[in-house]
């Protein structure tokens, strides 16, 4: 673990340190006169924005330990990633409707997540997506509990999640379509409280800075930037806080997994606004389809599956490049599909399994990880449609028969 580059943990720690000193983490540019503790050596010296891409709420989670030794924080985050994944598996298994579902959820969590390339990449890069996945799992677990205020509490967890990761707001669309107002009320309360706490801890201007930085991040094609523009090259820095700055990557098969990556691959560079328009168009179409094909009293698992699928699609359409470590959010999706496995077509489920096997275990084949990933994306959408709109699917079966 200590040989890991953890290159995505470093900007979060530096960002938290900057916040603790009253500095802007999103537009900060290090100079040799400043402490090395405030240096992200892989940042690009010729770009106006830093490598900090998470919300202020995520940075706040690091603020309380930001001034610890970096190696100590790296070990802590490595341990927390594993702990959160295991806790997610336990919570989701306990929330399952039947023992067989609980066993399948535990199996897929340990085999298809913990044993996957994307989980190893998540660990190696020091990423944070497992926190987002856990928040979805926790909200669902609370909603399925017997607590008197379970709907408001589950909503509050979703509100905090949205504060951590804005695109997670798509989770609320099916809840609004089906009039789950207590959950939505809880989401509003949780979001507002999280924003207030973040603002109190991090300063009043941090959210404004974050919202200014994100469009610039989406418009920046970092693949076109040269290695010679990074700080450690420009300033001839060899180590920071006693650790070499040259990343030591684990040899993990990966790929870019976004709509932008496809267009980049074929040599088409579209403005970030095009992806943003496509994103909102997709959400509008999804809302219309859900309203038109409403089912009677859907199970909570159906609503959460629909919301989580929409979040997945939003992430694919976002302008910044998406790497495979983001696939840890598949865990709640797979679990919710398992809970509703009696409603899906076996052929579609086999496509999902094929994609998972390719994505997880065939990195030695050129394009195997990417092909598997897109098979998973497509099959999740198909399975969600079969679960959310069974009447439409049954009608299509009758016509085809």
204-255: per-residue pLDDT in tens? Answer: 899 999 999 988 776 665 555 556 566 565 555 666 776 666 656 677 888 8
Which ranges of the chain have pLDDT less than 70?
Answer: 1-5, 218-239, 242-249, 391-401
Residue 311: its H or E element:
helix 300-317
Contact 121, 7 (CB under 8 A): no
pLDDT reported for residue 387: 95
pLDDT reported for residue 1: 44
**Domain membership flag for residue 1:** no
Domain ranges, residue 358 = 9-400
- Torsions phi, psi for 236 (to 5 deg): 55, 50
| pLDDT tens digit sequence for 102-129 | 999 999 999 999 999 999 999 999 999 9
Give the integer Cα–Cα distance in Å for 178 and 295: 9
pLDDT reported for residue 398: 42
Q: Which residues of 365-374 are buried (b: 16+ CB within 10 A; e: fewer)?
A: eeebbbbbbb
Query: The whole model's pTM is what?
Result: 0.92
pLDDT reported for residue 234: 56
**Domain membership flag for residue 2:** no
**Domain membership flag for residue 81:** yes
**Domain membership flag for residue 32:** yes
**Domain membership flag for residue 297:** yes
Nearest to 117, CA basis, from 363, 322, 326 = 363
**Domain membership flag for residue 382:** yes
- Torsions phi, psi for 244 (to 5 deg): -65, 140
Give the integer Cα–Cα distance in Å for 133 and 131: 5
Tell me the sheet residues that pair with 323.
Answer: 256
**Domain membership flag for residue 243:** yes
pLDDT reported for residue 6: 82
pLDDT reported for residue 373: 92
Give the integer Cα–Cα distance in Å for 348 and 357: 15
**Domain membership flag for residue 353:** yes
Contact 319, 219 (CB under 8 A): yes
Query: How many domains does one find in the chain?
Result: 1
What is each CA distance from 184 to 166, 178, 180, in whole angstroms? Answer: 15, 11, 6
pLDDT reported for residue 379: 97
């Amino acid at each position: 673990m200590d040989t890991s580059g953890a290159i995505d943990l470093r900007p979060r720690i530096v960002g938290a340190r900057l916040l603790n000193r009253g500095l802007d983490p999103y537009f900060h540019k290090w100079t040799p006169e400043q402490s090395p503790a405030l240096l992200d050596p892989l940042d690009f010296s010729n770009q106006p924005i830093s490598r900090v891409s998470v919300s202020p709420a995520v940075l706040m989670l690091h603020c309380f330990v930001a001034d610890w030794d970096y190696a100590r924080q790296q070990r802590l985050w490595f341990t927390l990633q594993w702990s959160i994944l295991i806790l997610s598996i336990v919570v989701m298994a306990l929330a399952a409707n039947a023992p067989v579902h609980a066993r399948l959820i535990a199996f897929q969590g340990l085999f298809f997540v913990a044993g996957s390339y994307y989980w190893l990449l998540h660990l190696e890069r020091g990423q944070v997506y497992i926190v987002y996945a856990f928040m979805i799992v926790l909200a669902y677990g609370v909603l399925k509990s017997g607590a008197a205020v379970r709907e408001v509490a589950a909503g509050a967890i979703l509100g905090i999640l949205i504060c951590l990761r804005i695109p997670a707001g798509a989770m609320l669309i099916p809840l609004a379509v089906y009039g789950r107002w207590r959950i939505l009320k809880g989401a509003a309360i949780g979001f507002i409280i999280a924003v207030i706490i973040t603002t109190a801890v991090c300063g009043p201007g941090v959210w404004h800075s974050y919202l200014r930085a994100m469009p610039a991040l989406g418009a920046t094609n970092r693949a076109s930037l040269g290695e010679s523009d990074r700080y450690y090259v420009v300033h001839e820095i060899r180590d920071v806080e006693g650790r070499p700055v040259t990343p030591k990557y684990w040899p993990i098969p990966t790929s870019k997994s976004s709509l932008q990556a496809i267009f980049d691959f074929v040599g088409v560079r579209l403005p970030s606004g095009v992806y943003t328009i496509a994103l909102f168009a997709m959400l509008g179409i999804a809302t219309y389809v859900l309203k038109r094909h409403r089912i009677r009293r859907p199970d909570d698992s159906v609503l959460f599956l629909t919301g989580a699928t929409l979040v997945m699609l939003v992430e694919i359409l976002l302008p910044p490049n998406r790497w495979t470590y983001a696939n840890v959010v598949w865990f709640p999706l797979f679990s919710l599909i398992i809970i509703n496995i009696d409603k899906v077509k076996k052929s579609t489920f086999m496509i999902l399994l094929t994609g998972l096997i390719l994505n997880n275990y065939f990195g030695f084949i050129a394009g195997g990880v990417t092909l598997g990933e897109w098979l998973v994306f497509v099959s999740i959408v198909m399975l969600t449609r079969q679960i959310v709109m069974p009447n439409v699917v049954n009608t299509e079966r009758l016509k085809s028969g």
